[in-house]
Structure 1
Amino acid sequence: MEHIKYNIDPQGIATIIWDVAGSPVNIMNAHTMAEFFSVMDQALGDAAVKGIVVGSAKSDFIAGGDLKWFLNYDQSKADCFEMLMDTHKAMRRMETGGKPIVAAMNGLALGGGVEIALACHHRIMTDHPKNKMGLVECSIGLFPGAGGTQRFLRMIGVQKSIQYITQSKKLTAQQALKDGLIDAVCAPDEDIIAKAKNWILAQTEAVVQPWDVKRYQIPGTPVGVGQVSGITEFYSVSNAMAYKNTHGNMLHIKNVLSALYHGAGCAIDNALELEARYFVDTLFTKETKNIIRSSFIFIGDAAKGKGKPKGFEKAEYRKVGVLGAGMMGAGIAYVSAKAGLEVVLKDTALENAEKGKGYSQMIEAKKLEKKRTTPEKMEALLGNIQPTDKVADLADCDLIIEAVFENEKLKNTVTQETEAVIGKEVIYASNTSTIPITTLAKASSKPDKYIGLHFFSPVDKMPLVEIIVGEQTSDATLAAAIDYVIKIRKVPIVVKDGRGFFTSRVFGKFVNEGISMLSEGIPPAVIENVAKKIGMPVGPLAISDEVNLKLMLDIMGEDPNLTAHEKQLEKTIAKIVSHYGRTGKKEGQGFYEYPKGGKKYLWPQWAEIFPRVSDYDEAEIGHRLLFAMVIDAYKCLDSGVLQAPKDADVGSILGLGFPIHTGGVMGYVDYIGGEAFAATAHDLALKHGERFDLPESLKERIKSAGEARVFYKN
């Protein structure tokens, strides 16, 4: 066997050890599962075997299904269903074979790995803070397809099953023990295999799964006809909540709820068949393929630093200097200190720098209150941050990140002041979101060491960092910058220089389109609600308030290349700011009203300023918001601002909140089909202007693809 190791000890206990060849973790696919079940059947059929232990030779148990295998699965739905049913039958043989089987979960156990453990009669998990177990398939557009829904349901009941599965909840050993998902814990220094064998040797009666006992009842199921309605109502509420959160865009959530609902009324074998049918229905949707491709493969590769130039050793960092202790600088200081780096947080006044450090203290205090950290860890993290108002304190930093106010003159002054005290080999990065790096690098004495690190707010929660390469930025500087981003556990994408770079530029199109539609008389509530309905996390008007309309005007005023549409939009925003004094959330009045102590609401006077129309088309509103971003993102790709379509998708999903079920800004073209995309863009251009005209190169891509995908094979 290539992936599974098999042994029988003198006491008649068989060990089936996962050790997938050529992989750092144990993954489940056609090859590994075939080996596992072959060995399992061998053990079950061997009269000399008294019991079986399933374990792992790697540091973790089983990481789950091979998602690349799922993404490239090219068999029919019927073949897929047959494969799943064969899996269910093999796992039922484990449960009903009459021999005690123990899962020795020595580390992380996720997805299919948990499902294998659930089919065992006894589960032991190593009790270590990093060890987690959970059915996490919903996080990548799938749901458990190897019995997870039905066994969870029969072990922890309806409510927790829905919560844990749809939220992809990962449980510690102690949490899993409390819920009854595992039966025992093992200390990190204990021999978990030996402990599993001891349990087998202690068994004196035949083993059987609870759901195979006659009259078994799902936990929490009410007894009596008059009480059944409570569970039915709970499913109805769960379904309604799921639709509210996903707007029907995430079919896998709907299907997992259906599998749980219908499976609850069946015996286990029929329930597993139902699960298989819903899983097949899910796997073959384009939404699931998009989520797997973008969230797992593209984002996963970026998070590992696969965009790093070749031939450079890993850069090591000890101390980072952060210039500017405002919201962005304070956030950068926090994530750096959290990664174990020393941080010098400098501002013009020590009081401001102390306040910036206070941001980290606030975050950690909340975590401490929720028992997500310890006083010792909190103290160590805060001890890593040194607030200062003295530039000399930056002298021994090995990386500088500037996060001062978005003003070119100020940034230039800070650059020259800092470079006077730091080493010649120290990289200098700017967190600018709009000013070209090449322009800012003119103030530097070492432009080859100058680069952009564009973080997103709030820094501690937003995973993306946009790395901007100026005209003179060296590959060595880029490689080192990527190493820093990976060190602080963020996801980098590499972007070439230009005004607005990629994310700020493209997101500006979303915001602009929303304001344009408001000026046309489309009700603001419709604009905001349609944005959420198509999968955006927040509407363009709310985002405008966060950015601030005055800042948007300042940025527009510095851009000499505004289009006719943008010039008209500039006049509209200027009118809103100067005539009505509405600038944004910070001032308490923008497109929304922000009453102190109350909930924000859309300013009701917009109908008087921009008389409303009633003949709007919601589908067209959604298309305008998304197409504006997609077309401009392609222009970034076409002009070389972006290196590959996948960079656009990663950046748009993590940085802009672009609907993940579409695959991202480039995946969206494939999602709706190239020809349909071109036809819709043509109609939008005729009705609303040249900003919806497709570049000729994109027209050619679509024409060449025909009915095939434009950007991705799968």
Structure 2
Amino acid sequence: MNNKHIKYSIDTDGIAIVTWDVADSPVNIMNEVTMAEFFLTVNLAISDDAVKGIIIASAKKDFIVGGDLKWFLNYDKSKEECFDMLMQTNTYLRKMETCGKPVVAAINGLALGGGCEIALACHYRIMSSYPKSYIGLVECSVGLFPGAGGTQRFLRMLGSQKTIEYITKSKKLTAEQALKDGLVDEICSPEDDIVMLAKNWIITKGSSEQPWDNKRFKVPGTPLGVGQTSGVTEFFSVSNAMGYKSTHGNLPHIKNVLSAIYYGAACHIDKGLEIEARYFVDTLFSKETKNIIRASFIFINDAARGKSKPKGYDRVSFKKVGVIGAGMMGAGIAYVNAKAGIDVVLKDVSVSKAENGKGYIKTQEQKKLENGYTTEAKIEALLQKIKASDSDADLTSCDLIIEAVFENEKLKNTITIETEKVIDEAVIYASNTSTIPISQLAKASVRPDKFIGLHFFSPVEKMQLVEVIVGKETSEGTLAAAIDYVTAIGKVPIIVNDGRGFFTSRVFGKFINEGITMLTEGVPPAVIENVAKKIGMPVGPLAISDEINLKLMLAIMSEDPNLTPHEIDLRRTLVTIIETHGRTGKKEGKGFYDYPINEKKSIWKEWSKIYPPQASYDEEEVGRRLLFAMVIDAYKCLDSGVLQEPKDADVGSILGLGFPIHTGGVMSYIDYVGAKEFALYSAKLEAKYGERFKIPESLQERIKSAGTGRVFYEN
């Protein structure tokens, strides 16, 4: 056969080999074209009496990495056509399962999403133990769930509990883990001929019945048979409750996948596949899923690959990085560099303080060791890459410097001056500041063209985002090299032009400010915090204020010469809370919350006496005030040139602020609400609460021009 994407051959033993090799792509992806070729080829093998067995293999380094999400994002057919497509897919896979010929999946690398589903429909699965080989149903990570039988086959192989856990958490399993769970039947080394192993199984042991096609089959771990529900209803009820608690109903794919698993459990697999398909269609056509795919798969992936890098510059690599400041932030930066294979000089005022920074890294690695994710040898090798130092002389061989001391301009300037005396003129100097303008800090540098901001987020080893902040004199070559560096350590860069608070700190400040303002207006603090979580924020504004510390917040506000009238009032409020009531934050054990030793934190009970509660409040308005405050200020960042593109705002807000991903991010939120509805509600908030909710004229024009369409993105 002369297929473009799927190769076909039959050996002398009558074994048909169906090989995925998608043209013009580094990986095998599933879409209308590749799936049509695949099923055509499999049918050819099924209908050929000379074929005794079938092997599904890959000519690429991975097996099949899953569905083409850009295809799903731009899917322009009806719900009915989508359902028919899924049912046709199920028909083909069921025909493969019931054809009477043994079918083997030769999984040589990643088998994710739809790739995993194809493997599950085979009668036998062999998987290479190559270190980067994983198998799993990971669709929930992009707002979808398995739509080619994954929920039903996982359920019948693993039972309900593991199925729910693995699918909702998008768990990827190594070959060893998959063998233990029974998802694969055999593993081999990367050096083994996996296709030959598959042939041997077909010839010597090959069977062609799936367990769920046996009339006596029941779902593992339950008393379930076809038509029975006793014994699992309670478990599914708890799972649904937990799902709602964690998502607050904002993520339809979680609700729908739980429903597909629950209702499919009591049916024959054919009916279960139909149930799954109906819930999948409902999910795919939701605006939340479209937003999640666009933000997480396209925008974030593009940023992670350095798509924002200025054109025309060769890739720059970094062999040794100097990190100045060994506190939690500096230690975290050193940690991710060492994990990326880069040598690090971790400098502080004393070797003992620098060693404390290494100690933090060792503690994090020990936790991984306890859970079986690393070894003592790997920990030692990692720590060997980090030199604890108190000497500027140790920085002379570094090809990048990152200053990560606390937010004090005078201290930062002193370090810049001293460090530049010992480093080469070509070395880039970066400040990990979250609030002080880079152009202001660059005044202390003798080469401001090499000066840039790299704003990491805490904890560095877990947070993906890095704001790359461009000062007035930062050269384009320095920016290009900085993007190369951020992507090399596995982080996601967004480019931010200079300004106080940059993007994330500035916009997140609006969230915090609005929460504190509502407290002073008499909105109960528990309502503020709970509504924040209900709308999809990971933490409430009062709790995060305690984490930051109210004294630090006041100090930052006091340094800003351009406070709005609302912010001036808020500063007075902070002074009163700190000086009159002695509430400063978590560090001191008393902020908006009380923090008893060895006890769970709780909101301070005296707030109701200081700010008497309102007789009534609008819960929807509370949530919208928190989000609208961020969205409007984020647009102002875009409008003023602090950000270059709307997608940078979406990526930064999701990864840096925890903005609800189902909305697509701060800019996509306008279209999520509906552009006209957003404008009307903003006007309502402006009339009630003031100028901060007034949307800029340029946004009003965008909304008018969009009409019934989207303001920022076509899909």
Range of TM-score over shorter length: over 0.9
Partner residue, 1:187? 189
- What are the within-5 Å matches in structure 2 for residues 217-228 of structure 1? 217-222=218-223
| Structure 1 alignment gaps of length 5 or more | none
Instruction: Tell me if the contact between 1:582 and 1:589 (Cα under 8 Å) persists in the aligned partners.
Output: yes
Task: Please give the alpha-carbon distance, in whole angstroms, between the structure 2 residues aligned to 1:226 and 1:645.
Answer: 51
Task: Please give the alpha-carbon distance, in whole angstroms, between the structure 2 residues aligned to 1:280 and 1:369.
Answer: 42
- What are the within-5 Å matches in structure 2 for residues 688-699 of structure 1? 688-699=689-700
Aligned residue-pair number = 713
Q: TM-score, normalised by structure 2?
A: 0.99
CA offsets 1:644-689 (integer angstroms, 9 cap, x no match)? 1000000000000000000000010010110000000000000000
Root-mean-square deviation over aligned CA pairs: 1.2
Partner residue, 1:462? 463
- Of the three residues 5, 8, 12, the one matched with 1:6 is 8
Q: Given residue 330 of structure 2, which amino acid in structure 1 is its aligned partner?
A: G
Task: Please give the alpha-carbon distance, in whole angstroms, between the structure 1 residues aligned to 2:254 and 2:12.
Answer: 48
Cα distance 1:90–1:227, how it changes in 2: closer, same or farther (>3 A)?
A: closer
Q: Given residue 260 of structure 1, which amino acid in structure 2 is its aligned partner?
A: I
- Alpha-carbon distance, 1:357 to partner: 1.1
- Alpha-carbon distance, 1:611 to partner: 1.2
- Alpha-carbon distance, 1:230 to partner: 3.1
- Alpha-carbon distance, 1:227 to partner: 10
CA offsets 1:679-702 (integer angstroms, 9 cap, x no match)? 000000000001000000000000
Please give the secondary structure, in 2, of the residue aligned with 1:453.
Answer: strand
Partner residue, 2:565? 564
Partner residue, 1:99? 101
Please give the secondary structure, in 1, of the residue aligned with 2:469.
Answer: strand
Partner residue, 2:355? 354
Partner residue, 1:286? 287
The reply to whether residue 114 of structure 1 matches residue 134 of structure 2 is: no
- Alpha-carbon distance, 1:24 to partner: 0.9
Task: Please give the alpha-carbon distance, in whole angstroms, between the structure 2 residues aligned to 1:48 and 1:14.
Answer: 9
- Alpha-carbon distance, 1:411 to partner: 0.5
CA offsets 1:50-105 (integer angstroms, 9 cap, x no match)? 11100101100000000000000000001000100110001011011111110000
Instruction: Tell me if the contact between 2:514 and 2:629 (Cα under 8 Å) persists in the aligned partners.
Output: yes
Q: Given residue 248 of structure 1, which amino acid in structure 2 is its aligned partner?
A: G
Instruction: Tell me if the contact between 2:222 and 2:231 (Cα under 8 Å) persists in the aligned partners.
Output: no
Instruction: Tell me if the contact between 1:522 and 1:614 (Cα under 8 Å) persists in the aligned partners.
Output: no
Q: Which range moves more in the overlay, 606-615 or 117-126?
A: 606-615
Partner residue, 1:663? 664
The reply to whether residue 371 of structure 1 matches residue 406 of structure 2 is: no
- Alpha-carbon distance, 1:128 to partner: 2.4
Task: Please give the alpha-carbon distance, in whole angstroms, between the structure 2 residues aligned to 1:42 and 1:422.
Answer: 67
Task: Please give the alpha-carbon distance, in whole angstroms, between the structure 1 residues aligned to 2:425 and 2:77.
Answer: 58
Please give the secondary structure, in 2, of the residue aligned with 1:146.
Answer: coil
- Alpha-carbon distance, 1:129 to partner: 2.6
Partner residue, 1:596? 597
Q: Which range moves more in the overlay, 360-369 or 64-73?
A: 360-369
Partner residue, 1:414? 415
The reply to whether residue 207 of structure 1 matches residue 208 of structure 2 is: yes
Task: Please give the alpha-carbon distance, in whole angstroms, between the structure 1 residues aligned to 2:226 and 2:669.
Answer: 48
- Alpha-carbon distance, 1:229 to partner: 3.9
Partner residue, 1:622? 623
Instruction: Tell me if the contact between 2:226 and 2:267 (Cα under 8 Å) persists in the aligned partners.
Output: no
Cα distance 1:606–1:103, how it changes in 2: closer, same or farther (>3 A)?
A: same
- Alpha-carbon distance, 1:218 to partner: 1.0
Task: Please give the alpha-carbon distance, in whole angstroms, between the structure 1 residues aligned to 2:675 and 2:30.
Answer: 34
CA offsets 1:523-569 (integer angstroms, 9 cap, x no match)? 10000000000000000000101111111111111111100000000
Task: Please give the alpha-carbon distance, in whole angstroms, between the structure 1 residues aligned to 2:580 and 2:236.
Answer: 51
Please give the secondary structure, in 2, of the residue aligned with 1:571.
Answer: helix
Task: Please give the alpha-carbon distance, in whole angstroms, between the structure 2 residues aligned to 1:416 and 1:186.
Answer: 57
Please give the secondary structure, in 1, of the residue aligned with 2:159.
Answer: helix
Q: Which range moves more in the overlay, 260-269 or 289-298?
A: 260-269
| Structure 2 alignment gaps of length 5 or more | none
- Alpha-carbon distance, 1:368 to partner: 1.0
Task: Please give the alpha-carbon distance, in whole angstroms, between the structure 2 residues aligned to 1:152 and 1:228.
Answer: 18
Q: Given residue 103 of structure 1, which amino acid in structure 2 is its aligned partner?
A: A
The reply to whether residue 196 of structure 1 matches residue 198 of structure 2 is: yes
- Alpha-carbon distance, 1:215 to partner: 2.2
Q: Which range moves more in the overlay, 626-635 or 337-346?
A: 337-346
Partner residue, 1:299? 300
- What are the within-5 Å matches in structure 2 for residues 16-165 of structure 1? 16-165=18-167
Q: Given residue 18 of structure 2, which amino acid in structure 1 is its aligned partner?
A: I
Q: Given residue 31 of structure 1, which amino acid in structure 2 is its aligned partner?
A: V
- Alpha-carbon distance, 1:178 to partner: 1.1
- Alpha-carbon distance, 1:203 to partner: 3.4
Task: Please give the alpha-carbon distance, in whole angstroms, between the structure 2 residues aligned to 1:570 and 1:333.
Answer: 35
- Alpha-carbon distance, 1:228 to partner: 5.2
Task: Please give the alpha-carbon distance, in whole angstroms, between the structure 1 residues aligned to 2:229 and 2:111.
Answer: 34
Partner residue, 2:472? 471
Q: Which range moves more in the overlay, 569-578 or 127-136?
A: 127-136
Task: Please give the alpha-carbon distance, in whole angstroms, between the structure 1 residues aligned to 2:205 and 2:184.
Answer: 17
How many percent identity over aligned positions?
Answer: 70
Partner residue, 1:535? 536
Please give the secondary structure, in 2, of the residue aligned with 1:404.
Answer: coil
Q: Given residue 37 of structure 1, which amino acid in structure 2 is its aligned partner?
A: F
Q: TM-score, normalised by structure 1?
A: 0.99
- Alpha-carbon distance, 1:598 to partner: 1.0
- Alpha-carbon distance, 1:224 to partner: 9.6
Partner residue, 2:387? 386
CA offsets 1:397-431 (integer angstroms, 9 cap, x no match)? 00000011101111100000000000000000000
Instruction: Tell me if the contact between 1:631 and 1:694 (Cα under 8 Å) persists in the aligned partners.
Output: yes
CA offsets 1:570-616 (integer angstroms, 9 cap, x no match)? 00011101111111111111101111111111111111111111221
Q: Given residue 256 of structure 1, which amino acid in structure 2 is its aligned partner?
A: V
